[in-house]
Amino acid sequence: MQAPVLVDVDGTARRPWITWFTDCATNAITGVAVTPVHPSRESVLSALRSAVLRDDPYGPFGGLPEKVRVDRGKDFLSRTVTAAFDLLDVSVEDLPAYTPHLKGTVEGLNRAVESMFLAALPGYARQPRPGKRASRPKDEVLLSFEDFTVRLLAWTSWWNTEHHPAPLRGKTPLEAWQDDPTPLRDVPAADLWTFTLEDAGTRTLTTRGVRFRKRDYVGPWMTGQAGIQVRVRFMPHHDHRIEVYHAVTGRYLGSADLADQATEEQVSAVRRARAARSRRLKKDLEASQRERYAAATQAEPPRRLGALTGAQAEAELAQSAAGTALSDLAMPDLIPPAAPPADWRTPASLAALTTPGRPRPLPSGRDCAPAVPDGPGRQAAPSTTDEDGDA
């Protein structure tokens, strides 16, 4: 669910998303994950791990469920998440659309967390405002994302250990969980971590590390291991690190970090440049979509308005061409390709782009190029001399 609360995320007010798993029998919240922006399969896998593990700080609720109900969300039905459920031997029930009553436990939790907890936080987005303006006060201090997560986890602990839901008849979810004699299926944390990673196939370990998505990843354990076949697994969107396993035995070898990783200053500069480019493109898009036509008082074809001078048209066309021509993006000292061999029939349009006078490779099996008349895109064949200097 998207929390109706604005929190401070790197200086920007955002509404975080909550992904959690609940136990239908005891109303207990078994796992939770919070993301500042729209969740992805990574948040689902994080919440799944916290829902299955029973060690601190996740316990005592946990263990592998027999069935998981999802509401047709693309994140829950992604290939990575479904593969993790298959490896864990958990069946997934994809509920029909527009049937919230089939997952009433989590729907009731979504309503309860808003009325019992979120509505009292600063930045609550659905708070009635005086007057006609619905915006929040400018002097309102928002919670940071870290503070919001701390308070949400504390409320989750209160819900599980102190709250008495009506369906449990006076028991807390913890008491109902402890009174349930159903045996639990536990998974070691290391195995669970492996099962919930996305598989990227096999690679060859070289002296430069592991090549993944056109980037090199290195680790101290790789010394003396060059040449072996390894299997790469990774957490979605966590592209700073990968996990490496032996391709044949499946043995865990170690983690590998991105080589030549950019500094925080460089990353911040790139993000600012991307934001500026995004604003510029959005502004150009809005300008291109503003079209005006003349009002008609009689039947006539539509007349588009918006006159330009010749200089304005040429300047805009030149600016558009500069942003799309790849030759303008090339390095200033780019050397054009050499002229082709003289016996090749080269179109004049391509011959004009080559560099005349540069040595050119000869066709294989020939000592020299045949003599041909000079012409566009052609050069005279070089002459040969014997040891006496005669031609």
Per-residue pLDDT tens digits for 201-211: 999 999 999 99
Whether the pLDDT of residue 118 is over 90: the answer is yes
Q: pLDDT tens digit string along 86-99?
A: 888 899 888 887 78
Whether the pLDDT of residue 374 is over 60: the answer is no
Give Cβ neighbours of residue 57 (< 8 Å, ≥ 6 apart): none
Q: pLDDT tens digit string along 219-241?
A: 999 998 999 999 999 988 888 99
Q: pLDDT tens digit string along 292-344?
A: 888 988 898 888 888 889 898 888 888 777 655 555 556 655 666 777 788 88
Give Cβ neighbours of residue 218 (< 8 Å, ≥ 6 apart): 208, 209, 210, 256, 257, 259
State pTM to two decimals: 0.68
Rounded CA-CA distance 143/40 in Å is: 23
**pLDDT tier at 190 (50, 70, 90 boundaries)?**
confident
Whether the pLDDT of residue 360 is over 80: the answer is no
Residue 215 Rama label (left phi>0; alpha psi -120 to 50; beta): beta
**pLDDT tier at 23 (50, 70, 90 boundaries)?**
very high
Phi, psi for 43 (deg, rounded to 5): -70, -35
| β-bridge mates for residue 7, sequence order | 14, 143
Identify whether the C-beta of residue 127 lies closer than 8 Å to the C-beta of residue 103: no
Whether the pLDDT of residue 369 is over 60: the answer is no
Whether the pLDDT of residue 148 is over 90: the answer is yes
First CA to last CA distance, the chain: 87
Classify 241 as helix, strand or coil. Answer: strand
Query: Is there a cis peptide before residue 130, judged by omega within 30 degrees of 0?
Result: no
**Least confident among 59-63, 133-137, 339-343:** 133-137
Give Cβ neighbours of residue 350 (< 8 Å, ≥ 6 apart): 377
Cβ burial of 152 (10 Å; 0-12, 13-18, 19+) is buried
Q: Can you tell me the mean pLDDT for 230-253?
A: 91
* Most confident segment among 98-107, 181-190, 331-340: 181-190
What pLDDT was estimated at residue 221? Answer: 93
